[in-house]
Structure 1
């Protein structure tokens, strides 16, 4: 899952009392420089892997991307003295595979940064995650809502977290049948068609749910996302790969607190920002804020497909992408044709003669300009 808390840091609780007009107020600390370590770690007992993302926090007012923490020595230890080192990359991702994980054991994370600071997490227990009973969609006035149902007969789960990867198939507005190479126009080869794409993105928000207040350990039709009517995601076919994992009560409390802090701010009566305490600490300085949480257990997955033709009529809608128009370049002007910004669609004729070529902008004829790939996913049905 994507880490959201690189943008969160310790902010003193503040209350604004007003007697007249309410004016926006940004606490000075929002502008302050922060350099706290941010950790997102998980040990997966389903496949014996561990993934850790390290970065540095930035101020809430910053518009840059949180910088990755590279060159660290990262390892996962169990309560029996076994340790596995993780390999890092230039993006601050640290991974390990083939880890002999015992679901009954306890594990912790150790980090030594390049500047010599050492961090360690609390020992965690691994949670066994129940299967996903159903992943389906429900038509609503707002769009297509995707919901999940799960339960645990043993009653040992109670706290759940979900993340997902969503993939959708879409096309450009126009299909380019010609290609301009070396100042000449030719038929576009089939394997170079740029009309149909598939795009994949991952969930960005914290999605958690609990059955703690229910008699049964049951989550029924929990809403994950709602895809708006007319969204490109549902133009042809959409797929979601949902990942579910059970949490400990401590981990759930952390994610719930972080969710409130990151997603509920903005109004005078919203929860005010404060310290989001995780389970990772600086071994030499217990007062140093460290953002993030290390957890572990099994992960279960389920995939859903939605086809455009399966939608009810009131949800079948297309929204055009941008202002797509066509124009013609005459044969005499072809040397000045700019193929860096345009794509050729077909020939322009006058009677039996070809007088030029019809073209449009790349954004209207090359589906890749909308973030997708020409490669069809292996799982696509």
Structure 2
């Protein structure tokens, strides 16, 4: 359920990245030739896992990256286990099956890709190592009187505390995933209506929200080695409803190579607004072509050690009324139901700590 976009997503102790096999973008180029971009990972948490494939578009047209469809994507380990991922209906995103290949600490993983036109790519092999446990997750209410509306004025800052191991050279990344139950699996617009018409789900379903821009949250232990990491900010919860807010926190332990990758990517996001915009900067990665050394490739595939926790945020005692940013939806309960597809945005799989 995570890219981890994930991109957007989604995270890791790795072997050193094979950066020498990747040609970085020249920021002075006006036009960039098409190149494959890979985003994905396998973790020691339950899957499914996703790999997203896109192609860089010609920067001179300022267009979005193009989805790379029809590829064969395989995740394998050093013991001979492997799985061919299934492409989702949205295209360009490939996913393992529920109960499929599982990341295990101590094993070595890589991804192999064969595109529709026969190009072949492979990631550097990555060792999956366990991440330290999260100490505690907590929230603090904070009211911002300078905010533009009541929905953003009220907010809950989520923090974690964790203990850094005594070993030197530890690098961290944190991600969050918000799950919200929904009984609407498709919306349609109709003339004369001020609201969208919602079609019901055929089963239980949860919408998934992740932070997709300006959200690369990383840290090195160079200044705190062996000590407690306190009040590490993870997310600010908005006041778009008065219901409880369910969020899962992923703590990842990175190698120095992948830490530097995300550090460069963070700078790219701050400059352009997306990890891989139409003209990404010198992000590099650990992907290379095995069929043609002249082919460019960008991005990463990693084996990720994660520790995961959750928090329920009580939003019932905020000031004033919540402000929703979503369009109103009228559920047509008599319409034919729509399947809740398991994707990076929605899932029929109940979140592991969901109990309300």
Query: Structure 1 residues 264 and 221, CA, compared in 2 at 3 Å: closer, same or farther?
Result: farther
**Contact in 1 for aligned 2:141/2:157 (Cα 8 Å):** yes
1:108 alignment partner, one of 102, 107, 110: 110
Unaligned runs of 5+ in 1: 15-27, 171-191, 267-271, 323-361
CA displacement 1:203-240 (0-9 Å, x = unmatched): 21322223232232542211122245xx315x332221
**Cross-structure match for 1:221:** 231
Query: Aligned partners of 1:129, 1:276: CA distance in 2, in Å?
Result: 25
1:253 alignment partner, one of 246, 249, 260: 260
Is the counterpart of residue 300 in structure 1 residue 302 in structure 2? Answer: no
**Which secondary structure does the structure 1 equivalent of 2:264 belong to?**
helix
TM-score by length of structure 2 reads 0.66
Query: Aligned partners of 1:38, 1:150: CA distance in 2, in Å?
Result: 33
**Cross-structure match for 1:151:** 163
Query: Aligned partners of 2:25, 2:329: CA distance in 1, in Å?
Result: 47
**Contact in 2 for aligned 1:159/1:252 (Cα 8 Å):** yes
Query: Structure 1 residues 82 and 225, CA, compared in 2 at 3 Å: closer, same or farther?
Result: closer
**Cross-structure match for 1:317:** 320
For residues 68-107 of structure 1, what are the structure 2 equivalents within 5 Å? 68-90=67-89, 91-96=91-96, 97-99=99-101, 102-107=104-109
**Which secondary structure does the structure 1 equivalent of 2:66 belong to?**
coil
For residues 1-381 of structure 1, what are the structure 2 equivalents within 5 Å? 1-2=4-5, 3=7, 11-13=25-27, 29=30, 32=31, 34-47=33-46, 50-58=49-57, 66-90=65-89, 91-96=91-96, 97-99=99-101, 102-142=104-144, 143-155=155-167, 158-167=170-179, 200-204=208-212, 205-216=215-226, 218-227=228-237, 231-233=239-241, 235-264=242-271, 274-311=281-318, 316-318=319-321, 366=330, 379=354, 381=356
**Contact in 1 for aligned 2:169/2:256 (Cα 8 Å):** no
Aligned length: 283
Tell me which moved more, 139-148 or 56-65: 56-65
CA displacement 1:283-328 (0-9 Å, x = unmatched): 23334331211111333221111122355xxxx2325569xxxxxx
Instruction: Flag the structure with larger Rg.
Output: 1
Query: Aligned partners of 2:102, 2:207: CA distance in 1, in Å?
Result: 35
**Contact in 1 for aligned 2:176/2:234 (Cα 8 Å):** no
CA displacement 1:40-68 (0-9 Å, x = unmatched): 12122344764322222335687866432
Let me know the Cα RMSD of the aligned residues. 3.9
Post-superposition shift, 1:199?
5.5
Query: Aligned partners of 1:76, 1:225: CA distance in 2, in Å?
Result: 31
Post-superposition shift, 1:11?
4.5
More helix by share: 1
**Contact in 1 for aligned 2:37/2:299 (Cα 8 Å):** yes
Post-superposition shift, 1:100?
6.3
Query: Aligned partners of 1:110, 1:277: CA distance in 2, in Å?
Result: 18
Query: Structure 1 residues 157 and 241, CA, compared in 2 at 3 Å: closer, same or farther?
Result: farther
Unaligned runs of 5+ in 2: 10-22, 145-154, 183-199, 274-278, 333-344
Tell me which moved more, 200-209 or 113-122: 200-209
Query: Aligned partners of 1:254, 1:56: CA distance in 2, in Å?
Result: 19
**Which secondary structure does the structure 1 equivalent of 2:316 belong to?**
helix
Post-superposition shift, 1:168?
5.5
